[in-house]
Chains A and B, each alone.
Chain A
Amino acid sequence: MNVPVPRTIEEYLAQLRAALRGADPAMIQDALYDAEEHLRAELAEREDHDEAAMLAEVVGSYGAPEEVAEIYRDQEVTVQRALRTPRSPPRRSAIGRFFGVAADPHTYGALFYMLLALATGIFYFTWTMAGIGMSLGFAVLIFGIPFLVLFIGTVRMLALVEGRIVETMLGVRMPRRPLPGNRELPWLKRIGAMFTDARTWSTLLYMLLMLPLGVAYFVIVVTGIVTSFALVVAPWLTLLLPYHGVMFDGEPWSPTGWEIWAIPAISLFGVLLLFVVLHLARGIGHVHGQVAKHLLVRGGDRVA
Chain B
Amino acid sequence: MSDALAHLKKKFEKELASGTVALALLAVLARAPEPLYGYLIAKRLEDSGGVLGGKQSTLYPVLRNLEAAGLLESRTEPSVSGPPRRYYHITDAGREALADWSATWNATRDSLDTVLAGDSK
Contacts and interface: CB of A to CB of B under 8 A. Distances in A.
Interface of A: 30, 33-45, 61-63, 67-68, 71-72, 75-76, 78-79, 82-83, 176, 180, 183
B57 interface: yes
B80 A34 contact: no
A12 to B, nearest CB: 11
Nearest to A68: B57
B12 interface: no
Given A41-B82, A43-B81, 19 more contacts: A30-B64, A34-B60, A36-B83, A37-B82, A38-B38, A41-B37, A41-B38, A41-B79, A41-B85, A61-B55, A61-B56, A62-B42, A62-B55, A62-B57, A71-B61, A72-B61, A83-B65, A83-B69, A183-B83
Interface string B72-114: 0000000111110110000000000000000000000000000
Contacts of B58: 71, 75
What range describes how many residues of B lie at the interface? 20 to 34
A72 B68 CA distance: 17
B46 interface: yes
B97 to A, nearest CB: 14
User: Interface on chain A toward B: helix, strand, loop, or mixed SS?
Assistant: helix
Given A37-B85, A40-B79, A41-B85, A75 B56 contact: no
Contacts of B65: 79, 82-83
Interface string B48-71: 000000011110111011001100
Contacts of A79: 61, 65
Nearest to A27: B61
A178 B38 CA distance: 16
B83 A40 contact: yes
Interface string B26-52: 000000000001111010001000000
